[in-house]
Amino acid sequence: MEDNYTLILVDVPMIEERNDKDWYGTIPLGIIVTDKMIFTVCLEDTQVLTRFMEGRVRNFFTYMKTRFILQILYRNSSMYLRYLRIIDKKSEQVEEKLHFSPRNQELIELLELEKSLVYFTTSLRSNEAVLEKLIKLESIKKYPEDTELLEDVIIENTQAIEMANIYSGILQSMMDAFASVISNNLNDVMKILSVITIVMSIPTIIFSAYGMNLAPSGMPFSSTIWGFLIVILVSIAASIIAALFLSKKKYF
């Protein structure tokens, strides 16, 4: 507050498009109040003010400056709640995809949603400090209707904070759970590949021994015409025994 104007600075939610998908963030909105006029300053067009410009807000009058400011803040908190519900629905859709096939793309989407929730939580807490300071202003206390509206704004903002915290916790738990699932799947694949390597190494060792340049008289089954078939059967039998042993130990 200065001598002839008051500056109210809050964070408003926004949608930004990246890789043909909508993600959520926040940008600051400045409300400058003078004796005769109200200025709103924002880096981008925001849907918080769209309904006012379209005349779709009831009991909206620019000459009622305090009520107008509180209506903007109420609309801002409502937008947070709306975007939080959209984020929750998106996370449920991604979760359904992950149940069928955990991929990096879905995990990246969850990470983006988690980042949006972090932005929302931080901005909502900053807005909460602004609202607490507003309730101490004498200009608002003069009008009981405005005081009630400010209390509604505070309740709406508090509800948005709680929803953001709940969704953030659920999303973090979901990411940790699927990260564990992916890690377990990888461990299972590596275990199966290790078992296959062990089973297949037995015939390799036997055939490698017979492939060495040694005298035929010193090699088992070299004197019979069924020697090659016997060696193959012995290798298969040894592999089956090894596979049964590993299966009994529940390695796969």
27-58 pLDDT per residue, tens = 999 988 888 888 889 988 888 887 777 776 77
Per the structure, the complete domain to which residue 45 belongs is given by 6-185
Q: Is the pLDDT of residue 140 over 80?
A: no
Shared domain for 172 and 203, answered yes or no, is no
Shared domain for 125 and 204, answered yes or no, is no
Shared domain for 125 and 155, answered yes or no, is yes
Q: Which of 185, 202, 226 is the last residue of a domain?
A: 185
100 by DSSP, 3-state: which?
A: helix
Structure tokens at 186: 């990888």
The pLDDT value given to residue 143? 66
The pLDDT value given to residue 102? 64
The pLDDT value given to residue 56? 67
Q: For residues 12 and 25, is the Cβ–Cβ distance under 8 A?
A: no
224 by DSSP, 3-state: which?
A: coil
The pLDDT value given to residue 126? 92
Longest CA–CA span in the chain (Å) reads: 113
Q: CATH number of the domain that 90 lies in?
A: 1.20.58.340
Shared domain for 12 and 107, answered yes or no, is yes
Shared domain for 207 and 179, answered yes or no, is no
Q: Is residue 121 part of a domain?
A: yes
The pLDDT value given to residue 69? 85
* Segment 116-142 mean pLDDT: 83
* Segment 197-218 mean pLDDT: 78
Shared domain for 203 and 100, answered yes or no, is no
CA distance 155 to 127: 12
Q: Which of 185, 205, 222 is the last residue of a domain?
A: 185
Q: Which of 185, 204, 232 is the last residue of a domain?
A: 185
CA distance 49 to 66: 16
* Segment 121-126 mean pLDDT: 92
Q: Look up residue 155 and give its amino acid.
A: I
Q: List, in sequence order, every residue forming a beta bridge with 33; answer none if it has no partner.
A: 6, 38
Number of domains in the chain: 2
Shared domain for 137 and 31, answered yes or no, is yes
Shared domain for 195 and 180, answered yes or no, is no
CA distance 8 to 40: 9
Shared domain for 95 and 211, answered yes or no, is no
The pLDDT value given to residue 122? 92
Would you tell me how many other CB atoms lie within 10 Å of the CB of residue 213?
Answer: 4
Q: Is residue 220 part of a domain?
A: yes
Higher pLDDT among residues 14 and 144, named by residue: 14
Q: List, in sequence order, every residue forming a beta bridge with 22; answer none if it has no partner.
A: 17
Each residue's pLDDT tens digit, 155-171: 999 999 999 999 988 88
* Segment 113-135 mean pLDDT: 89
CA distance 137 to 6: 11
CA distance 40 to 27: 13
* Segment 112-134 mean pLDDT: 90
Shared domain for 105 and 150, answered yes or no, is yes
Average pLDDT over the chain reads 83
How far CA 91 is from CA of 78, 79, 114, 116, 160, in Å, comes to 20, 18, 9, 12, 17
The pLDDT value given to residue 188? 81
Residues near 51 by beta carbon (within 8 Å), at least 6 away in sequence: 57, 75
Q: For residues 161 and 128, is the Cβ–Cβ distance under 8 A?
A: yes
Shared domain for 223 and 170, answered yes or no, is no
Strand ranges of the sheet holding 38-42, from the earlier edge strand across to the other edge? 6-18, 21-33, 38-42
Burial class (CB in 10 A: 0-12, 13-18, 19+), 14: buried
Q: Is residue 1 part of a domain?
A: no
Q: Is the pLDDT of residue 80 over 90?
A: yes
Q: Is the pLDDT of residue 144 over 80?
A: no
Shared domain for 240 and 196, answered yes or no, is yes
Residue 247: which pLDDT band, with cuts at 50, 70 and 90? confident
Cα torsion 7, 11, 13, 17: sign = positive
Q: Is residue 90 part of a domain?
A: yes
CA distance 143 to 69: 14
Helix (H) or strand (E) holding 36: none
